[in-house]
Each structure stands twice: as structure tokens, then as C-alpha cells.
């Protein structure tokens, strides 16, 4: 919910409307709502220790 804009208010009453129960409009089931388990940009780079880097350079030379 925090990554999508919109109100957290209930879209309609839970009882006496004949409509299904819903919590908020930015939910995943609504158009222009949130995306569940979507891609999140992040770095997959792995850092080598300084000793291992030096050892690799030494073995190359």
C-alpha cells in the first residue's frame, strides 16, 4: 500500500450494498491499483574481499 498513491478509506460500506467487501481502492484487485510481488530494481553485484582481488590479480600477472 505504501508504494501506490490513493486513499485508504473503504470504497463502500461492507453491509447492505450487495457489493463485495473491499478494504481500499488502491488494492491489487482494482484497475490502476498496486502491483503485488512485482519487479523491484536492485543491484545484484557481489563484492570480493580485497585479499581475493589481489590474489586474482597476482595469478593473472
Q: Which domain holds residue 27?
A: 1-36
Q: Give just the sign of the alpha carbon dihedral 32, 33, 39, 40.
A: positive
Q: How many domains does the chain have?
A: 1
| Nearest of 25, 5, 23, 26 to residue 14 by alpha carbon | 23
| Pairwise CA distance, residues 56 & 21, whole Å | 61
Residue 48: inside a domain? no
Residue 14: inside a domain? yes
| Pairwise CA distance, residues 35 & 38, whole Å | 6
The whole-angstrom distance between residue 28's C-alpha and the CA centroid of its chain comes to 12
| Pairwise CA distance, residues 47 & 59, whole Å | 19
Tens of each residue's pLDDT in the chain, 61 residues: 556 667 778 888 888 888 888 888 888 888 878 888 888 888 989 999 999 999 999 999 8
Amino acid at each position: 500500500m505504501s508504494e501506490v498513491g490513493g486513499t485508504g478509506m473503504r470504497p463502500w460500506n461492507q453491509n447492505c450494498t450487495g457489493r463485495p467487501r473491499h478494504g481500499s481502492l488502491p488494492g491489487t484487485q482494482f484497475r490502476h491499483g498496486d502491483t503485488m510481488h512485482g519487479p523491484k530494481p536492485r543491484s545484484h553485484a557481489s563484492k570480493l574481499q580485497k585479499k581475493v582481488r589481489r590474489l586474482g590479480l597476482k595469478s593473472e600477472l
